[in-house]
Structure 1
Amino acid sequence: MGPETHWSDASGDLKQFGEGETRLSHRSYQLQILNSILSQYGFTASDWQGTSYLVSNGKGSTEIAPHVSAVWSVIDGMSKESFDPLNKNFLKKIISLNSKNENE
């Protein structure tokens, strides 16, 4: 029995990726984006066996998120504040980060 596939994860069908891309390169890209967001709040995420994510708070605590959407609830559990990825201020900050990255 392996882990349950989440809709946000690649299904393994390489046709959905661009030329030369693999599931691993797609996951690496996903982690890069995720970490650019999480770093704004003192958290990091890393790949765990290609199926889950390790979320760390920089204070010695690390928890497993089974898929990318579970990262937010893991952060809620590790943080003293509630974290809402759909919060308007949060989304403005992400848009600003994205604009800055595109201009570099």
Structure 2
Amino acid sequence: MRNLMLALGAASLAVPATVMLPQTSSEAQAQSKKKRYSYREWKGRDGRRYCRKPDGTTGLVIGGVAGALVGRSIDTRGDRTVGTLLGAAAGAVAGREIERSGKRCR
């Protein structure tokens, strides 16, 4: 039993070392091609600079949830559905516009 535990311990120490092997040049080039399009700004083939702006999805979701909670807390009469829906809609629109307006490329 002791030998089995020692063998498993030695194998667990050797496995992470084999995962971190150095990359070949072709693997490094493939990774650099993938990363080329992840930047916010890039230069096109025509020489112009292009910019990738956020589409506002994160702000839409967070604003919708926050707006629904605020709308529900403000509307205290009845079943609160109207306040929740109006708050979610207003929060979603506001969150989307806030996220889209803050990021701009120059």
TM-score by length of 2: 0.22
Higher-strand-fraction structure? 1
Structure whose CA Rg is larger: 2
Higher-helix-fraction structure? 2
